Structure 1
Amino acid sequence: MSDDEKNPAREIIADYARAHFRYFRTADGTVYAQKNGHPVARPIRSQGTTGSHRQELMVGLFKDGCGVFNGTALKEALDLIEALALSEEVQPVHIRVAPGFDGATWLDLGRNDGQSVRIHPTGWDIQTPDPREVCWRRTQLTGELPLPVKDTDGKGIDLLLGLCNFATAETECLAIAWLIGCLAPSVPVPAPFLTGPQGAGKSTGGRMLIRIIEGMSGDLRRAPKDEENLIAAVAAGWVTALDNLSHMTPDLSDAMCCIVTGAENVKRALFTDGDVFRARYRRPLLLTGIDVGVIRPDLAERLLPLRLERPGVRRTEAELWAEYAEALPVILGSLLDLTVKVRAVAAETPTDLRMADFAHLCAQLDGATGIGALAAYRASLDDLNDDVIEGDLLAQTVLQHAETMTPGIEERMTSTEWLQTLSRLYNGEDCRPLPKGWPTTGKVLSDRLKRLQPTLAARGVLIDSGRTKEGRYLEMSRPAAQPPPEQQAAF
């Protein structure tokens, strides 16, 4: 009797699997399988119809002449492997971009052979990463990128800008800065919001931007109706692009803030009583639309408005995308060249902006090219602050009251007293009724003002809160104007 006939099927499968695959776990306890020498890792419990580890194992056993095994034997073998892997080393898995050794960054090209781009301080090259340095996770949303072209001398950037209908040079440099930020796994980047009149090519421009990172299969999608589906879509890819937004609910606005700066979602694992499933996510986000109505202040700080204009000459979709597909290797190569130059620049980090990492990236881009990205970013935030104020009657009323304040003198009242003061100011002599959504209590007013703090501070009105023996208070002030430097020296 042969050794194979003596051993149960599950032992044959387990021995084959451990000889041909490396098994490890992530920090949340999920066990992954990685073919020896290959950077792509697959969760062993995946039941996907294509590309699951179960299928990978079955094909390997069949091709190597070990036989065809039933589902029970495979399940028992994988149960044993999973139990053994829980004592193995912990290693993270990444989608599309990943940090590497010695300050390098990796970009997954989505190829079957595992070839990826290694971006390091002295340049970039195409390699197959060491599985112990980078583990790629692939999903249905992971498209294949072409091999980038080297030594493009910036030609690809010019080709991209020629295909998109960006309205101004400031918009162009912000789009380039965002693309560079998408190649950095640890840098939160604001969400570009492509706006413009009908026919400006907002959806087409959005597709062109995300396909540089996600490949030709990358596309825009409608915003999911609930946060759970949005998180599932975000976790399965790198760049999430939502098309044709016409309205933004408070829940969707809050979810987008979390996507941009990072958060974690926890829910009960299926078919269990006490186990939970954790989903961490921080992803680049892209939006398109003509107008989404009132923008909340916290989301405004995380947006990057990119305005497009209607093209003078129309082209067919087939012609446009054929030209784009031909130019994509050069575009990607130019973006990688520019990324290396930008990362080599030492620049100070602006400390007055919420998205400080992106502001630092804009400063580095200015140091490498001198295109004025940081100034354009500041101007875009000013425009967004104007949009927030135009859509918020409370902010308008606070600014109206601030005009009567003496600079350098703080006004301190309880939140209820502030509500009465601002309500009288809004009513005016005409005693017009308070609008829908106006704060009804001091607590609601206090919460609204805290949310508006950054927007009002950008207009020179500071809101602060505190507590004394008498109780809590809200304080409003306008900083005194600073004299010019020559006058300061004279004193």
Structure 2
Amino acid sequence: MSEEEKNPAREVIANYAQERFRYFRTADGTVYAQRNGQPVARPIRSQGTTGSHRQELMVGMFHDGLGVFNGTAMKEALDLIEALALSQDVQPVHLRVAPGFHGATWLDLGRNDGQSVHIHPGDWDITVPDPHEVRWRRTQLTGELPLPAKDTDGKGIDLLLRLCNFATAETECLALAWLLGCLEPSVPVPAPFLTGPQGAGKSTAGRMLVRIIEGMSGDLRHAPKDEENLIATVAAGWVTALDNLSHMTPDLSDAMCRIVTGAENVKRALFTDGDVFRVGYRRPLLMTGIDVGVIRPDLAERLLPLRLERPSVRRTEAELWAEFEEALPVILGSLLDLAVQVRAVEAQTPTDLRMADFAHLCAQLDTATGLGALAAYRASLDDLNDDVIEGDLLAQTVLKHATELTAGAPERMTSSEWLNTLSRLYSGEECRPMPKGWPTTGKVLSDRLKRLQPTLAARGVLIDWGRTKQGRYIEITRRPAPPAEQQQLG
């Protein structure tokens, strides 16, 4: 066959593809294919053997009687389609949840027919979204959710709380607030840390919370050894759940902070000299474990401790999961009912908490149901501050020094002078040796204090930095006690 006779194969594939699919690019330059009338989008460069766009084209042309084309013709046709799509407007793709028109939110049920949950002001329903409004990205971690039940009258919430072994009512309302946050595509939510004694069902409860959002295929995973593997896991799913954490390295702690509040990673593209690709991510994160040791202050502000207790009656795994799978449509329906109810109310946004969006969600939940989620969230952060202080000798020493300060009167020194002052205070008259990890220079001390600044501020000790003609200084101030507390002290 001559070369002139081979050329039409590329044209046949390209024409077939453009008639049946819509092609667009995302902000990172990836070109996606979206079948006409369907919301699911697949990257055209995917080499996967299950559900790839290349496979879609091959199967479609075979069924439509156009025959089977060789790989060269398919590659050349896709090269042309990709080049044409790069001139189109940038459009986003979403995993599991997506913003819609007019303040609505979509939840991907992971179904082949594209049916999704449309959460809009006043109600929710199940429909296939307009492909121009929502473009779903699917991965191997995208499990299928059952069709949620309507008119549950809140029964699903009671079923969920009965299946989990949450220790207190405060823990229950925080778990509900986190689940509601997972349905919000633009709200960063703190990472629940399920803790409790051995045998409390931490892993089981964690799986249940994840599977409400990710389907029955959702599961817990071991913590990756490095940030690169963690990012790969996070990028492929909506909720990332890490099981049985017993230790948290500084690098893993920093990576978790970025996952919760959002960040972007840039890497060199494979098989190129200078091209790069960007991976942006902000995902709900969940962890389980008995104790992870010392918690860094920046991570503590992004955690949501959920304590569990040992169940009085044990059940087999088969019985428990059969009941959960049967109840999942009702649980999901009740959660959607609650989401509509919560979004319909107005509440004041707390301005003193770092995760302000989640705090506002807790305030809305309280207004809608009277549960007391915001007070529980504040109490959990207070407990985490105690954990940070108990694990940090420098924080304890600064608080000890602050007790000797006059309230409202700042004390200024250079970082080196503060290091000498705090070191002498820690050593005491018995001249104890400095512990491992104690700052060795003024610069190291200043960096440590910046991490501890929010934790110490929660205990009434304010730290600030400034500069005069003589040089830079660090200022420590003990905040005056509020009038009520002063009366109690009096």
TM interval, short-chain normalised: over 0.9
Q: Find the counterpart in structure 2 of residue 127 from structure 1.
A: 127
- For 1:301 and 1:49, locate their aligned partners in 2 and report how far apart those are by CA, in whole Å: 42
2:224 aligned with 1:224, yes or no?
yes
CA distance in 2, matches of 1:414, 1:442: 8
Q: Distance in 1 between matches of 2:170 and 2:99?
A: 30
What letter is aligned with 1:256? M
Correspondence 1:362 to 2:366: no
Question: 2 CA distance for matches of 1:84 and 1:478?
Answer: 63
What is the DSSP-based 3-state SS (H/G/I as helix, E as strand, rest coil) of the residue aligned with 1:306? strand
Please state if 1:115 is matched with 2:115.
yes
Instruction: Give, as a single letter, the amino acid of the residue that structure 1 aligns with 2:119.
Output: I
Is it true that 1:183 corresponds to 2:216 in the alignment?
no
Question: How far apart are the structure 1 equivalents of 2:241 and 2:352?
Answer: 28
- Deviation for aligned residue 1:89: 2.3
Residue 69 of structure 1 corresponds to which residue in structure 2? 69
For residues 483 and 194 of structure 1, the distance between their equivalents in structure 2, rounded to whole angstroms, comes to 37
For residues 327 and 145 of structure 1, the distance between their equivalents in structure 2, rounded to whole angstroms, comes to 12
Tell me the CA shift for residue 87 of structure 1: 1.2
Match in the other structure for 1:437? 437
Partner of 2:19: 19
Alignment of 1:94-113 (within 5 A): 94-113=94-113
| Alignment correspondent of 2:35 | 35
Q: Which residue of 2 aligns with 1:46?
A: 46
- What is residue 87 of structure 2 aligned with on the other side? 87
2:305 paired residue number: 305
Q: Give 1:333 deviation, angstroms.
A: 0.1
Change (3 A) 1:459 1:484: closer
Per-residue displacement from partner, 1:141-192 (whole Å, max 9, x unpaired)? 0000000001111100000000000000000000000000000000000000
Equivalents in 2 of 1:78, 1:7: separation in Å?
14
What aligned pairs does 1:415-434 form with structure 2 within 5 A after superposition? 415-434=415-434
CA distance in 2, matches of 1:468, 1:67: 79
In structure 1, the residue matched to 2:474 is 474
**Distance (whole Å) between structure 2 residues aligned to residue 104 and residue 285 of structure 1:** 23
The CA distance in 2 between the partners of 1:483 and 1:369, in whole Å, is: 32
Which residue identity does 1:69 align to in structure 2? Answer: F
Inter-partner Cα distance in structure 2 for 1:433 and 1:7 = 80
Letter in 1 for 2:434: L
Residue 5 of structure 1 and its aligned partner are, at CA, apart by 6.8
Alignment partner of 2:16: what SS? helix
The residue type equivalent to 1:189 in the other structure is V
Structure 1 distance, partners of 2:252, 2:483, is 44
Shift of 1:482: 3.8
User: Runs in 1 of length 4+ with deviation above 3 angstroms?
Assistant: 4-7, 482-485
Structure 2: how far apart are the matches of 1:5 and 1:266?
43
How far apart, in 2, do the equivalents of 1:67 and 1:49 lie?
A: 19
**SS of equivalent to 1:454:** helix
Structure 2 residues without counterparts, runs of 5 or longer: none
Residue 296 of structure 1: aligned partner: 296
Q: Distance in 1 between matches of 2:184 and 2:131?
A: 20
Instruction: Spell out, residue by residue over 1:69-102, the C-alpha distance to the aligned partner (whole angstroms, 9 max, x if none).
Output: 0000000000011011111222100000000001
Alpha-carbon shift at residue 28 of structure 1 (Å):
1.5
Deviation at 1:481?
2.8
**Displacement after TM superposition at 1:336 (Å):** 0.1
> Partner of 1:8: helix, strand, or coil?
helix
Match of 2:345 in 1: 345
Q: CA deviation at 1:385?
A: 0.2
**Aligned ranges for residues 433-472 of structure 1 at < 5 Å?**
433-472=433-472
Look up the equivalent residue of 2:270 and give its one-letter code: L
Aligned Cα root-mean-square deviation (Å)? 1.4
For each residue in 1:205-255, what CA deviation from the matched residue of structure 2 results, as whole angstroms up to 9, or x when unmatched?
A: 000000000000000000111111100100000000000000000000000
2:209 is the counterpart of 1:171: no
Query: What's the offset of the Cα at 1:484?
Result: 5.3
Counterpart of 2:156 in structure 1 is 156
- SS of 2:483's partner is coil
Q: Which amino acid aligns with 1:161?
A: L
* Cα distance in 1, alignment partners of residues 433 and 223 from structure 2: 36
Give the superposition deviation at 1:405: 1.0
1:330-372 deviations in whole A, cap 9, x for unaligned? 0000000000010111001000000000000000000000000
**Structure 1 residues 306-345: Cα deviation after superposition (integer angstroms, max 9, x where no partner):** 0000000000000000000000000000000000010111
Alpha-carbon distance, 1:274 to partner: 1.4
Alpha-carbon distance between aligned partners in 2 of 1:482 and 1:393, rounded to the nearest angstrom: 27
Shift of 1:7: 6.0
Structure 1 residue 8: deviation in Å?
1.6
Q: For 2:32, what is the secondary structure of its paired residue?
A: strand
Can you give the 5+ residue segments of structure 1 that lack an aligned partner in the other structure? none
Name the structure 1 match of 2:265.
265
Residue type at the aligned position of 2:35: K
* Other-structure match for 1:316: 316
Structure 1 residue identity aligned to 2:297 = P
Residue aligned with 2:267, SS: strand
- Counterpart AA for 1:361: L
1:20 corresponds to which letter in structure 2?
R
- SS in structure 1 opposite 2:405? coil
In 1, distance between residues paired with 2:167 and 2:324? Answer: 20
The residue type paired with residue 267 of structure 2 is K
TM-score, length basis structure 1: 0.97
Letter in 1 for 2:389: I
1:256 is matched with 256
Question: Match of 1:372?
Answer: 372
- What amino acid is aligned across from residue 84 of structure 1 in structure 2? L
| Letter aligned with residue 183 of structure 2 | L
Measured in 2, the distance between the counterparts of 1:297 and 1:305 equals 14
What aligned pairs does 1:238-249 form with structure 2 within 5 A after superposition? Answer: 238-249=238-249
Q: Percent identity?
A: 86
> Using the alignment, how far apart are the partners of 2:175 and 2:481 within structure 1?
35
CA distance in 2, matches of 1:450, 1:418: 14
Query: Is the partner of 2:126 in helix, strand or coil?
Result: strand
Distance between the aligned counterparts of 1:51 and 1:90, measured in 2? 23
| Secondary structure of residue in 2 paired with 1:363 | helix
The secondary structure found in structure 2 opposite 1:184 is coil
AA aligned opposite 1:181: G
- SS of match in other structure, 1:106: strand
Q: 1:277 aligns to what SS in structure 2?
A: strand
User: Residue type matched to 1:204 in 2?
Assistant: T
Distance across 2 between alignment mates of 1:482 and 1:59: 72
